[in-house]
Amino acid sequence: MKRVTVRFEGNVQGVGFRWTAARAARDAGVAGWVRNKSDGSVQLVAEGGEAQIEALLESIRAAMAGNIHGERLDWSEARGEFNSFEIRR
């Protein structure tokens, strides 16, 4: 099991990004959360199998391609702290 922390940059707030990410996470079967950051970026933390996380990221990239101008990924081992995927405020 893996964990990824991603910071998405670009026109990612106010465009349904968090809802898109949450739906993609549920479809991929991963757990974690997504939230807006005060600097205009969106942060996502997801845990699951590596293939599941890759599917999540590809789904987000495809759906929000015109909005994402950069992303920073940090991979690590899963901590097992999530039971579901949620949108945080």
Task: Identify whether 88 is part of a domain.
Answer: no
Task: Identify whether 53 is part of a domain.
Answer: yes
**Looking at residue 52, which CATH number applies to its domain?**
3.30.70.100
- 18 in catalytic set: yes
pLDDT at 20: 98
Whether the predicted pLDDT of 13 surpasses 90: yes
Q: What is the pTM of this model?
A: 0.95
Task: Identify whether 89 is part of a domain.
Answer: no
Mean pLDDT confidence for 20-38: 98
Choose the catalytic residue: 7, 23, 35, 36: 36
Choose the catalytic residue: 11, 18, 61, 89: 18
Q: How far apart are the first and last CA of the chain?
A: 26
- 36 in catalytic set: yes
Long-range contacts of the stretch 55-64 (C-beta < 8 A, 24+): 55/27, 55/28, 56/21, 56/24, 56/25, 56/28, 56/30, 57/4, 57/6, 59/24, 59/27, 59/28, 60/8, 60/20, 60/21, 60/24, 63/20, 63/24, 64/8, 64/12, 64/15, 64/17, 64/20
Mean pLDDT confidence for 38-44: 98
Mean pLDDT confidence for 9-33: 98
Task: Identify whether 9 is part of a domain.
Answer: yes
Which residues span the domain enclosing 27?
2-82
Task: Identify whether 61 is part of a domain.
Answer: yes
